[in-house]
Chain A
Amino acid sequence: MSAEKKKSYYSESFRLFRKNRVAMVSVIVLLLLSALALLAPVICRYDPNLQSLRDRLQTPSAEHWFGTDEVGRDIFTRCIYGCRISLSVGIVSQLIASVIGYLLGVSAGYFGGKVDDVISFLIQVFSSFPFLLFAMALMNVLGPGLLNLYLSLGILSWAGTARLIRGTVMQLKNQEYIQACKTDGGGNLRIILKHLLPNCVPMLIVSITLGIPSAILSEASLSYLGLGVQIPTASWGSMISESQTYIRTHTYYSLFPGLLIIITVMAFNMLGDGLRDALDPKLHSGGSL
């Protein structure tokens, strides 16, 4: 792909993406959520972990927008800080997964033979075992914490990406410019990083974006079970778990973190769908790939 063509491919994608109203709305929602997460200490008037038993279980008010929890912590503040956890776990774990997935997928597709057999087998293994169960087992051994969440969700969710990349690379490696590069004495590493990677980038972008929502849901589930973040860190999942005792009397408590999970996950799903359509060369008017 020459530089000029590459540019036109991405500008055509961008043009298509901008026309997709649903995707644009999801971008705005996600930018807003990211801003809230980044600016949390500036926006919030309270400390997310500051307990104030005098103010426990207050209904939403001007003072406490989302009310307070069972030990008097401000729920709005905890929701905003929870946003940091969800977004970072989603993004970092999927970056880890996509690096592993790319390296294994490209090796399988490019080298073929025995390497492909072994990696394909691993892909099958990692896509046929119960994900949440192994995440639980892993978190149980590693102990709760943000870094462990990144690692265990990342390590367990690379198989889908690897399978996609493997398939693409198997097609790409027989194309003329790859063959030409080989005849020209180009090493394997050079081909994998310089020629195959740019062609896989659109696919990686889509698989990361669509992987994030499931990572966020897994984090919420793990934190709900007490296997995610360390207490008292605010996470949407752990907040829902804490709120469960009070659903009869304080419905709003579990509502806010639940709605935030849905909004975030929905936005990433719609963004991913929009990106997939926009980056699909078949839908480009000029057929620039």
Chain B
Amino acid sequence: MWRYIGKRTLLALGIMLCISLITFIILNVIPGDVAAMMLGDFATADNIAQLRENMGLNRPLPVQYFSWLGGIVRGDFGTSYFQNRPVLELIHISFSYTVVIAVSAYVVAVVLGLSFGILAATHRGGVVDRLVMHLSVFGISAPSFWVAILLQLYFGLQLKWFPISGAKAAGWFVLPAFALGTRYAASISRITRTSMLEVMGQDYIRTCYAKGLNRLRVTIVHVFRNALIPVITILGNDFGALLTGSMITEKIFNIPGVGKMLIDAINRRDIPLVQGGVIYVAIICVVVYFTVDILYAVINPNIRLTKDVN
């Protein structure tokens, strides 16, 4: 087990290093001049030269990369060009909002997804099953920002149940949670259904029924528990995706999370903030996937015994 964890840790570190390099290349190497981009169309050559000097852009690229990387390792993500505050400080303020949205959307996704999946599997071929499956195809296909607009329209403007913009109290997060969570609920319900059906076809489940156990007990204790293993991987990956996928939802509901911060930073061409924010989110993402991998290996011993680095 420790060997496996060690291997995965090394891999995760390697991946982070590679992602930092890709981020740096995307934002610095192609194409042209970051300083000119940040100052916009009306900048004079002098202004650009000054900013290049201040930001250390006149140094060779590898030097810039390693000094940026060194900063990150020490916890220094640079300084926002527009707000003149440390990037890490800005990220920490906004990240708490993102975590709240992601967690509440996750609860929506898991509760809806698992219960619909179980419902569909136990009513296989029936009306309920077909209804759930059609709904889930719809849920997977609908863009989250459009679902958000519909929710705002109906529950916010028509029924006036929830506020549609801002983040002041728990009620403010209900619509964003559903807007973001439904899509994941749809995919979780599909996988839960498939996995449940697979387990239900096994001989030992037939034995359970033959022994006279009641249906509910068999479904929950025997089928669901065994069907959960493939579902857990998806659940873990979804959490990572939610943390980073809340960007557009934040923008629509005007919640000052990391996503909105990054979108604003991109629009203002605040490169240090974009660069720091992207790498921060990417690191979180890798850490989440890594944790899921380890947990998965703890639950399912087959993995750590047979699965090598890949």
| Contact residues on A (Cβ < 8 Å of other chain), bracket | 35 or more
- Pairwise interchain contact A133-B149, C-beta atoms closer than 8 A: no
Q: Is A232 an interface residue (CB 8 A)?
A: no
Q: Is A140 an interface residue (CB 8 A)?
A: yes
**Which residues of chain A from 121 to 147 have any CB-CB distance to chain B below 8 Å in the complex?**
121-122, 124-125, 128-130, 132-134, 136-138, 140-142
**Which residues of chain A from 239 to 263 have any CB-CB distance to chain B below 8 Å in the complex?**
240, 244, 247-248, 251, 254, 258, 261-262
Q: Is B300 an interface residue (CB 8 A)?
A: no
- Pairwise interchain contact A244-B138, C-beta atoms closer than 8 A: no
Main secondary structure of the interface of B (DSSP, over half): helix
- Pairwise interchain contact B30-A244, C-beta atoms closer than 8 A: no
- Pairwise interchain contact B138-A262, C-beta atoms closer than 8 A: yes
Q: Which chain A residues lie closer than 8 Å to B146 at the CB level?
A: 240, 254, 258, 261-262
Task: Kindly specify which of A66-74, A223-231, A274-282 makes contact with the partner chain.
Answer: A223-231
Report the separation of the CA atoms of residues A227 and B248 in the bound assembly, to the nearest whole angstrom. Answer: 12
**Nearest chain B residue, comparing its CB with the CB of A241:** B145
Task: Kindly specify which of B40-48, B51-59, B218-226, B280-288 makes contact with the partner chain.
Answer: B280-288
Report the separation of the CA atoms of residues A136 and B31 in the bound assembly, to the nearest whole angstrom. Answer: 15
Report the separation of the CA atoms of residues A116 and B165 in the bound assembly, to the nearest whole angstrom. Answer: 49
Q: Is A265 an interface residue (CB 8 A)?
A: yes
A124-B11, A221-B145, A266-B141 known; A137-B26 Cβ under 8 A: yes
**Nearest chain B residue, comparing its CB with the CB of A264:** B141
Task: Kindly specify which of B12-20, B104-112, B115-123, B198-206 makes contact with the partner chain.
Answer: B12-20
Q: Which chain B residues lie closer than 8 Å to A224 at the CB level?
A: 143, 145, 248
A132-B244, A247-B157 known; A269-B266 Cβ under 8 A: no
A121-B18, A248-B157, A258-B149 known; A213-B30 Cβ under 8 A: no
- Pairwise interchain contact A213-B141, C-beta atoms closer than 8 A: yes
- Pairwise interchain contact B143-A254, C-beta atoms closer than 8 A: no
Q: Is A200 an interface residue (CB 8 A)?
A: no
Q: Is B228 an interface residue (CB 8 A)?
A: no
Q: Is B310 an interface residue (CB 8 A)?
A: yes
CB distance from A166 to the nearest CB of B (A): 9
Q: Is A206 an interface residue (CB 8 A)?
A: no
A254-B149, A261-B146 known; A137-B23 Cβ under 8 A: yes
**Nearest chain A residue, comparing its CB with the CB of B277:** A133
20 contacts between A and B (CB under 8 A): A120-B309, A121-B18, A128-B289, A130-B240, A133-B278, A133-B282, A137-B26, A138-B26, A141-B26, A220-B145, A224-B143, A224-B145, A261-B141, A261-B142, A262-B138, A262-B146, A265-B143, A266-B138, A269-B140, A269-B141
Residues in chain B within 8 A of chain A (CB atoms): 11, 14-15, 18-19, 22-23, 26-27, 30-31, 137-138, 140-146, 149-150, 152-153, 157, 240-241, 244-245, 247-248, 251-252, 262-263, 266-267, 274, 278, 281-282, 285-286, 289, 309-310
